[in-house]
Amino acid sequence: MSDKTYAPSAEMTANAHINPDNYASMYASSISDPDGFWREHGQRVDWIKPFTTVKNTSFAPGNVDIKWFEDGTLNVSANCIDRHLAERGGQTAIIWEPDSPDEPAQHITYAELHRRVCRFANVLEELGVRKGDRVVIYLPMIPEAAYAMLACARIGAIHSIVFAGFSPDALAARINGCDAKVVITADTAPRGGRKTALKSNADAALLHTKDTVKCLVVKRTGDQTTWINGRDFDYNEMVLEADDYCKPAEMNAEDPLFILYTSGSTGQPKGVVHTTGGYIVYASMTHEYTFDYKDGDIFWCTADVGWVTGHSYIVYGPLANGATTLMFEGVPTYPDASRFWQVCEKHKVNQFYTAPTALRALMGQGNEYVEKCDLSSLRILGTVGEPINPEAWTWYNDVVGGGRCPIVDTWWQTETGGHMMTPLPGAHATKPGAAMKPFFGVHPVVLDPQSGEEITGNDVEGVLAIKDSWPSQMRTVWGDHERFEKTYFADYKNYYFAGDGCRRDADGDYWITGRVDDVINVSGHRMGTAEVESALVAHAAVAEAAVVGYPHDIKGQGIYCYVTLMNDQEPSDELKKELRTWVRTEIGPIASPDLIQWAPGLPKTRSGKIMRRILRKIAENDYGALGDTSTLAEPQVVDDLIENRMNR
């Protein structure tokens, strides 16, 4: 791990919302007096009926119960739209950048957004959707995806978004899982110059659901689709008839806002339930402070609305703050590897938020794609989703940010609703690969994995847990509260257990060391596989690497490395030898790889995360039962790895 520290510039500290002084005092009061702290910050959203109770939460075994602002009422869509109209009706709310750079971008003002969302809400009501009903959204990254989310919120329906890259089976499982009344989809979806037949996927999914489920179809391309009268409804036709106004429903703070499945990196995805009040308070606050968002800034989060990052930082957080948020339909490498940077230049993006998987892919393509674009508008860079290797961090910092832009490495989860640990641009130094400091109201602890005791002091390592509730914590697993308690509260009593390991370094800064399942024990030495991966990626020949443990007669566990080489590299035994020596010098002899397999590709979730549990099975030579593979992006990658496995 790198120990280099980058201090925030004096200018950043002077101008940012949060500086070292107010961070220290606000953080201290958020922990010592959560009631007082959130009573004050709960006012950042508009309440219909103000809350009197702030926090009523318990992590007690067998009785996990989480409620925030429980007697208050509000509406999220009114908070994201209506309350901005007087002051910023003419301001752009959403900039939409289509898949093809030849198609014009759209600028949707707050006034227009209001009209669109009201009409969409009226269409849903016309289809019989009522408060508390579930609506599945299976849409590409088009403005209608945001309208649909906000329309559900407006009438109190609970949305469950399914990423448009998912198969009919995965879609059917999610429709049935929440007993949805309506599925919203589009005809076909362009992405990276190719098209996905969304409506025909929905048709296939609907063969496995109740007959009563209705399908609302948004026109994206105008491509022909099959049509079942009475089941399929044409959004573009219905919306013409719909009224321009729809009254926002009065929702209790604890009414569910949405259900969203986790990425499925570690097993069967969990249907995470988020509620209304605490979620919107926390999403808007983290958006403003983590990215130091100021009026007039253009904010771009490259995630898909199918992931929690898209929920909190494309739609709900930014719009609650009256921001201008950019929504991108395409992929980073289409038409070529400079697309992200061209979009930044075109729309003068100020905050740019992406994932390590995209950065690693772009880094491998060479700097000229970045350098030909004018990135002078960028002020803050962000990353989320996986630990970021110091190599990729440094490239992001130097080449993309020109050394000017603080990088916020945000650690959080679908379950947490918003950022849990991240440096704040004007308040904290950054270190390549470190999540640094907890956000307000978050009380992280490092636990001994065996005893569950808190490890105090600095320069320590263990499992990461959270000691007390924060407003946007998930409330339950949809329809399965027992699974909720078992997954997050059973291993370490009275804590929320995140499933990740962490280190608190000598300065008291936090580093996520990867998932607890990914910690290996080699001859009695525990180490996170992320460290070995980072060492491998730091070698010039390596584009990407994934490391897992496998049973080893002498060492207990051996180190098995899957390595993807840079385009211009040839695999050879010489190179394997070189990589072994390299890791030994970078980390030490204890981390020396036992087996190295060349991997043309790595198995990833559809959100781009490496699925190490599958790699572990292959390394263990136990590839018959790979578990839930429904979230796997490219199944054929796995066949190749099995065929060429090293441990047989």
Q: Which is nearer to ligand ATP, 59 or 497 (CB)?
A: 497
Residue 404, token pair as written in the block: 């000017």
E-assigned strand segments in 165-282 = 182-186, 189-191, 194-196, 214-218, 232-234, 251-252, 256-261, 271-275
Binding of ligand ATP by 269 (CB under 6 A): yes
Query: Which positions from 488 through 517 interact with ligand ATP, judged by CB under 6 A?
Result: 498-500, 512, 515
Specify the DSSP element, H or E, that contains 280: helix 277-290
Binding partner at 515 among ligand ATP, Mg ion, none, C-beta below 5 to 8 Å by kind: ligand ATP
Q: How far is the CB of 464 from Mg ion (least distance, A)?
A: 12
Near ligand ATP by CB under 6 A: residue from 113, 435, 502, 561: 435
Annotated binding residues: 191-194, 309, 385-387, 409-414, 500, 515, 523, 526, 537, 539, 542, 584
In the annotated binding site for Mg(2+), the residues are 537, 539, 542
Binds 435, which of Mg ion, ligand ATP, none (CB < 5 to 8 A, cut-off by type)? ligand ATP
- Dihedral sign, CA of 282, 357, 534, 270? positive
The nearer residue to Mg ion, 266 or 324, going by C-beta atoms, is 266
CA–CA gap between residue 382 and residue 492 (Å, rounded): 31
- Nearer residue to Mg ion within complex by CB, 499 or 601: 499
Closest to Mg ion by CB, 77 or 262: 262
In the bound state, the residue with its beta carbon closest to Mg ion is: 262
- What is the identity of the amino acid at 261? Y
Q: Which of 203, 297, 386, 391 binds ligand ATP (CB under 6 A)?
A: 386
DSSP state of 47: -
Stretch that binds ligand ATP, among 37-45, 258-266, 331-339, 451-459 (CB under 6 A): 258-266
Residues numbered 64-123 forming contacts with ligand ATP, rule: CB under 6 A:
none
Shortest distance, position 557 Cβ to ligand ATP, whole Å: 20
- 250 exposure class (CB count in 10 Å sphere: 0-12, 13-18, 19+): middle
Cβ pair 471, 280 in contact under 8 A: no
Interface with ligand ATP by CB under 6 A: which range of 115-123, 234-242, 404-412, 538-546? 404-412
A 10 A CB-CB count for 176 gives 15
- Ranges of beta strands (E only) in 470-522 are 476-477, 496-504, 510-515, 519-522
CA distances from 462 to 255, 313, 420, 647 (A): 35, 30, 17, 30
SS3 599: coil
Residue number with CB closer to Mg ion (332 or 501): 501
User: What distance in Å separates the CA atoms of residue 210 and residue 148, rounded to the nearest whole number?
Assistant: 22
Question: Taking the complex as a whole, how short is the minimal distance between the CB of residue 442 and ligand ATP, in angstroms?
Answer: 14
The footprint of Mg ion on this chain (CB under 5 A) covers a number of residues equal to: 1
Is the dihedral angle over the CA atoms 166, 171, 172, 174 positive or is it negative? positive
Binding residues for ligand ATP, total number by CB under 6 A: 24
State which of positions 242-281 bind Mg ion (CB under 5 A): 262
Distances from the Cα of 31 to the Cαs of 34, 45, 438, 443, in angstroms?
6, 21, 11, 7
Taking CB under 6 A as the rule, does residue 290 contact ligand ATP? no
Query: Which of 19, 77, 92, 262 is in the footprint of ligand ATP by CB under 6 A?
Result: 262
CA angle 329, 332, 335 (to 5 degrees): 85
From residue 92, how far is each of 84, 310, 349, 595 by CA, in Å?
11, 18, 13, 53
357 binds ligand ATP (CB under 6 A): no
Shortest Å, Cβ 190 to ligand ATP: 25
Closest separation in Å from C-beta 383 to ligand ATP: 6
Residue 384 found at the interface with ligand ATP (CB under 6 A): yes
> What Cα–Cα distance (Å) separates residue 13 from each residue in 6, 10, 97, 356, 432?
13, 5, 32, 26, 20
- Per CB under 6 A, contacts with ligand ATP among 580-609 are 609
Determine phi and psi for 518, rounding to 5 degrees. Answer: -95, 5
CB of 223 to ligand ATP, least distance (A): 31
Do residues 246 and 448 touch, judged by C-beta distance below 8 A?
no
Among 91, 109, 365, 413, binds ligand ATP (CB under 6 A): 413
The 206-245 contact track toward Mg ion, x by CB under 5 A, reads ----------------------------------------
Report whether 559 contacts 587 (CB < 8 A): no
Rank residues 279 and 307 by Cβ distance to Mg ion and give the closer one.
307
The span of 14-22, 166-174, 182-190, 262-270 binding ligand ATP (CB under 6 A) equals 262-270
The least distance separating ligand ATP from the CB of residue 385, rounded to whole angstroms, comes to: 5
Q: Which is nearer to ligand ATP, 332 or 385 (CB)?
A: 385
| Interface with ligand ATP, residue 387, by CB under 6 A | yes
- DSSP state at residue 314: I
Which are the contacts of 636, defined by CB distance < 8 A and separation ≥ 6? Answer: none
Q: Can you say whether the dihedral through the CA atoms of 14, 18, 20, 24 is positive or negative? A: positive
Note whether 154 binds ligand ATP by CB under 6 A: no
Which spans of this chain sit near Mg ion (rule: CB under 5 A)? 262
Which spans of this chain sit near ligand ATP (rule: CB under 6 A)? 262-267, 269, 384-387, 409-414, 435, 498-500, 512, 515, 609
